Amino acid sequence: MSSAGFLKEMQTIGEKFLLKLQKLPKADPVEIVSFCVVLLFIATVLLLMIIACSCCCYSCCSCDGHPDHRRRKTQVRPVAH
């Protein structure tokens, strides 16, 4: 997908979202609750993605952006008797 197509798609989604927000005060309580559940789900997914990305980046890079070579995984071998 080209960047122009992506921007057009994002604009369409934003317009649909604004239209839904404008109709929300007149909506049924069930529709309001379902809209809030969808928003909560989206916010939760975004928050979890941010946490996962920050933890992954922090574990393989130090704060200044250089890799931390001290945290290399070592291979464990069985002990011969």
Q: What is the DSSP secondary structure assignment for residue 64, as one 8-state letter?
A: T
| Better-predicted residue by pLDDT, 21 or 9 | 9
Q: Is residue 79, in this structure, part of any structural domain at all?
A: no
Name the band, by pLDDT with cuts 50, 70 and 90, for residue 1. Answer: low
pLDDT at 67: 55
Q: What is the DSSP secondary structure assignment for residue 65, as one 8-state letter?
A: S
Q: For 16-70, write each residue's pLDDT tens digit.
A: 988 988 888 888 999 889 989 998 999 999 999 998 888 777 666 655 555 555 5
Q: Is residue 35, in this structure, part of any structural domain at all?
A: yes
Instruction: Indicate the number of domains in the chain.
Output: 1
Written as one letter, the residue type at 3 is: S
Q: Is residue 31, in this structure, part of any structural domain at all?
A: yes
pTM score, two decimals? 0.54
Range of 35's domain? 27-58
Residue 67 dihedral angles phi and psi, to the nearest 5°: -65, 145
Q: Is residue 19, in this structure, part of any structural domain at all?
A: no
Q: Is residue 40, in this structure, part of any structural domain at all?
A: yes
Q: Write the CA distances from 23 to 16, 18, 67, 68, 78, integer angstroms.
A: 11, 9, 50, 52, 66
